[in-house]
Amino acid sequence: MTAALEMDGLKKSFGKTEIIRGVDLKIGKGERHAIIGPNGAGKSTLFNLITGRFPQTEGAIRLHGQDLAGKAPFQINRMGLSRSFQITNIFPKMSVFENVRCSLLWSMGYRYNFWSMVGRSRALTEGTDEILDQINLTARRDLPAGVLSYAEQRALEIGITIAGGANVIMLDEPTAGMSHSETDYIVDLIRTVTEGKTLIMVEHDMGVVFGLADQISVLVYGEIIATGTPEAVRANPKVQEAYLGEALEAH
Amino acid sequence: MTDQLTTDPTKPAQRMRAGSLTIPLIPWVLAAALVMILPFIFTANSAITIMNQMAITIIFALAYNMLLGQGGMLSFGHAVYAGVGGFACVHIMNMDDFFSQIPLPLLPVFGGLMGMGLATIVGAFSTRKAGTVFAMISLGVGELIAACSVIIVAFFGGEEGISGDRTYGMPFFGVEFLQQIEVYYLIAAWLMISAALMYLYSRTPLGRMANAVRDNPERAEFLGYSARWVRFFSFVASGFFAGVAGALFAINYEILTEENLNTTQSGLILLATFLGGVGFFFGPILGAIVFTLVQTVLSLQTELWAFYLGIVFVVTVMFFPGGLAGLLMMHVPAMRLGKLGRLGVPYVKTLGAGAIGCLGAAALIEMTFHLRHASAGDHSMTLYWITFESHTILPWIVAIAVTLVGFGIARRTAPALAEAWNDANTPDGAPR
């Protein structure tokens, strides 16, 4: 069985600085994989390489066995990979409903259609309302997305990310900047909406990581020093030394 | 916090409202009716000329707003697409054999296709990036084609331009378009068709994605859409309607010159569109109407009309970035609360006084202009239907006094207006 996502000798340099220094990683279908590591380890860069935001310097990335080299973000998205952002990245001036509807358009086959009216498609409206229901924003449906509370915007961002039906979902610090109750809420939400999909996430909150992930990779200075189940990673002495010890104590 | 996130069960979601299945037809029916009866209200030939010009500008401004308002692309050279569409139509008018085979009302289709063709070529490279890059390329292409007009004389006719005769076309149900009023209805029909099509376009998947790309191109890319192709298609569609406007210009005036596609013209449509407001579909319509009135009616009264227009534009950009449409829509909350009436008296007090102050200031400007530019010995000038000597001291004292008093009252009454504004926008019983 081919892995959902596979990285092979992946490297990325900005000028002379090597940020990702040879990452080999296989993420199986349906896995919930968390990537953790200290600040500046290259977690976000890794995300940006996988989603086509930056081109890699060396190595290969394969999505369901297909090479992603040279592909633009929109092409990678059409192949079934979707992502959220560390800093909330929505369409602030458009309504909550429209935010979600826009993310359904391509996957529902509308492409660059200019001869049918979005308001007339029952399937589109119902699909959008279904997503809004899942992320519990039905009551906020007609508000501009920019006026939502922070936690609501994060929920919307997750809704936009999953709406297109991608089977590989990448979340970049989905709970960053949230209170405890908000975090619990978002973790539940992520668990439900990514049911049956491959989930890859970067996260700092160890409670979230150990609560959601069934596989963990530890990225330190652009290299993966350990991959395994939460228990195995927690017990790994290398990880203890490099990172997790402090993080766990702090937690 | 968590409570806020969950659906409020007492407030069932207003399903099907934002995704409402019908276009609100009433404003369209009213607009069509108004367009039909206008020539019976303003019967003078000069009025019909102004209305023709107005309708053409509305189409052009709406086309321009497909880029600026809906697609987030600031173009400094959009007159090129209207101009080239117009030039092509004059050439078709001069192709006797071909032109006698097509009815005149179909001519704008050719103008539109020409504008669209050029937009396809230019858009292929200009829409890769939005923002400054797009703006600069649009300016460059605008200058380039304007320069071509004196080089490629066969197409652009050099400095004197090219002219044709619309009446050589195939009669359309017996109408030969000899009369201004016949041309008016031709233009009006195209106005309604173009406006409706542009509105419908904004409701299609591509039109919605144009908004999404405007707001956040990166996010749109991660939703499967290439920001570049979305921009490209908007650009091409806008080129079509600009071409239609150019064709109508050709039909109305039967002459096109370099002035129709140079950067001045591009700047003016930017100005008209922004003045009306880019945030709402009807904004450019308001902008085009006001702009045409200033350009035609005010320009008969004063040589300095462009100066005043410039001041209004700068004030709009600085204080009312939503334009006229934005100003109107600002009143919707007060209207919903049923408290719009409370603004009436304070508006009359402050804005009335302000308007008088503006008239006084304009008088000072006009008198200074007359003093400096009138031919030697010509000391008498007429302003606001009063004839007086511009070299005597009395008119100056009066103008200065009117200006000061007008602005003074406006300033004194401004706090009361602000108070009334807050009051009108606060629901009754809510804490202030």
Candidates B66, B129, B219: best to mutate against A (most CBs of A within 10 A) is B219
Q: B381: helix, coil or strand?
A: strand
Distance CA B276, CA B290 (A): 8
**Share above pLDDT 90 across residues of chain B, in percent, rounded to a whole number:** 53
Q: What number of other Cβ atoms are within 10 A of residue B125's Cβ? A: 11
- The dihedral region occupied by A196, where left means phi > 0, alpha psi between -120 and 50, and beta the remainder, is left
What average pLDDT is seen over chain B? 87
**Share above pLDDT 70 across residues of chain B, in percent, rounded to a whole number:** 94
Query: Whose CA is closest to A66, among A168, A162, A165?
Result: A168
Under 8 Å between Cβ of A106 and A160: no
Question: Is A176's pLDDT higher than 50?
Answer: yes
pLDDT digits (tens, 9 = 90+) for A178-218: 899 999 999 999 999 999 999 999 998 888 998 899 999 99
Distance CA B197, CA B203 (A): 10
Query: Whose CA is closest to B111, among B84, B147, B150, B93?
Result: B84
Under 8 Å between Cβ of B312 and B275: yes
pLDDT digits (tens, 9 = 90+) for B178-230: 888 999 999 999 999 999 999 999 999 999 999 999 999 999 999 999 999 99
Under 8 Å between Cβ of B168 and B93: yes
Q: What number of other Cβ atoms are within 10 A of residue B26's Cβ? A: 8
CA dihedral (B66, B69, B73, B79) in degrees, to 10, reads: 60
Partner residue facing A129 (CB), from B5, B15, B21: B15
Is residue A34 within a helix (H) or strand (E), and if so which, with residue range? strand A32-36
What average pLDDT is seen over chain A? 91
Distances (CA, A) of A177 to A117, A174, A249: 39, 9, 20
Residue A49: what are its φ and ψ, rounded to 5°?
Answer: -70, -45
| Cβ-based contacts of A124 with chain B (< 8 Å) | 19
Taking the alpha carbons at both ends of chain A, their separation in whole angstroms is 37
pTM of the prediction? 0.90
Question: Is B429's pLDDT higher than 80?
Answer: no
Candidates A105, A152, A180: best to mutate against B (most CBs of B within 10 A) is A105
Question: Crossing angle, helix A96-105 and helix B205-215, to 10 degrees?
Answer: 110
Query: Whose CA is closest to B244, among B92, B116, B118, B111?
Result: B111
Report the pLDDT value the prediction gives residue B8, as an integer from 0 to 100: 38
Partner residue facing B200 (CB), from A94, A117, A129: A117
pLDDT category at B11 given cuts 50, 70, 90 is: very low
Under 8 Å between Cβ of B61 and B266: no
Under 8 Å between Cβ of B334 and B343: yes
Show the CA angle centred on residue A13, arms to residues A12 and A19, nearest 5°: 75
**ipTM metric:** 0.91
**Which residues of B lie inside 8 Å of A (Cβ-Cβ)?**
1-2, 4-8, 11, 13-21, 200-201, 203-209, 211-212, 215-216, 218-227, 229-230, 233, 237
B254: buried, middle or exposed (CB in 10 Å: 19+, 13-18, 0-12)?
middle
Shortest Cα distance, chain A CAs vs residue B234, angstroms: 10
Q: A2: helix, coil or strand?
A: coil
Structure tokens at A32: 């919930």
Show the CA angle centred on residue A98, arms to residues A97 and A100, nearest 5°: 70
Domains, chain A, ordered by start: 30-52+72-213+231-250 (3.40.50.300)
Tell me, what amino acid is at A86?
A: Q
Name the residue in chain A with its Cα closest to that of B9. A139
Question: Crossing angle, helix B131-151 and helix B107-126, to 10 degrees?
Answer: 130
Under 8 Å between Cβ of B216 and A89: yes
- Count interface pairs A-B at CB distance under 8 A: 141
Name the residue in chain B with its Cα closest to that of A141. B13
| Cβ-based contacts of A105 with chain B (< 8 Å) | 205, 208-209, 223-225
Q: Within a 13 Å sphere around the CA of B259, how many CA atoms are in the beta-carbon half?
A: 9
- Cβ <8 Å between A112 and B205: yes
Partner residue facing B7 (CB), from A94, A138, A149: A138
pLDDT digits (tens, 9 = 90+) for B387-417: 777 778 888 888 898 899 889 888 888 888 8
Distance CA B356, CA B401 (A): 11
| Cβ-based contacts of A82 with chain B (< 8 Å) | 222-223
| Cβ-based contacts of B219 with chain A (< 8 Å) | 85, 89-91, 160
pLDDT category at B32 given cuts 50, 70, 90 is: very high
Could you identify the residue written with the tokens 């959902």?
A4
Length of chain B: 432
Distance CA B305, CA B300 (A): 9
Taking the alpha carbons at both ends of chain B, their separation in whole angstroms is 25
pLDDT category at A1 given cuts 50, 70, 90 is: low
- Mean pLDDT across B246-251: 96
Q: Which residues contact B150 (CB under 8 A, 6 or more apart)?
A: B156, B158, B159, B258
Residues A73-89: b if buried by 16+ CB within 10 A, e if exposed:
bbebbbbbbbbbbeebb
| Cβ-based contacts of B25 with chain A (< 8 Å) | none
- Cβ <8 Å between A149 and B226: no
Candidates A48, A53, A74, A185: best to mutate against B (most CBs of B within 10 A) is A74
Structure tokens at B408: 């003074």
pLDDT digits (tens, 9 = 90+) for A129-156: 999 999 999 999 999 999 999 999 999 9
B178: buried, middle or exposed (CB in 10 Å: 19+, 13-18, 0-12)?
exposed
pLDDT digits (tens, 9 = 90+) for B111-158: 999 999 999 999 999 999 889 999 999 999 999 999 988 889 889 988
Distance CA A101, CA A95 (A): 10
Q: Which residues contact A224 (CB under 8 A, 6 or more apart)?
A: A23, A24, A25, A217, A218
Structure tokens at A224: 């993966």
Distance CA A143, CA B379 (A): 62
Query: Strand A81-83 to strand B255-256: parallel, antiparallel, or no bridges (unpaired)?
Result: unpaired
- Cβ <8 Å between A101 and B208: yes
| Cβ-based contacts of A119 with chain B (< 8 Å) | 19-21, 203
| Cβ-based contacts of B229 with chain A (< 8 Å) | 112
Candidates B15, B222, B238, B240: best to mutate against A (most CBs of A within 10 A) is B222
Question: Is A250's pLDDT higher than 80?
Answer: no
Question: Is B73's pLDDT higher than 50?
Answer: yes
Under 8 Å between Cβ of B224 and A107: yes
Query: Whose CA is closest to B166, among B230, B228, B225, B248?
Result: B248
Q: B208: helix, coil or strand?
A: helix
pLDDT digits (tens, 9 = 90+) for A8-65: 999 999 999 999 999 999 999 999 999 998 888 899 999 999 999 999 999 999 999 9
Q: Considering all CA atoms of chain B, what is the largest pairwise distance in Å, rounded to the nearest integer?
A: 82
Domains, chain B, ordered by start: 26-312 (1.10.3470), 332-424 (no CATH)
Show the CA angle centred on residue B232, arms to residues B226 and B235, nearest 5°: 145
Distance CA A124, CA A104 (A): 7
Name the residue in chain B with its Cα closest to that of A170. B222
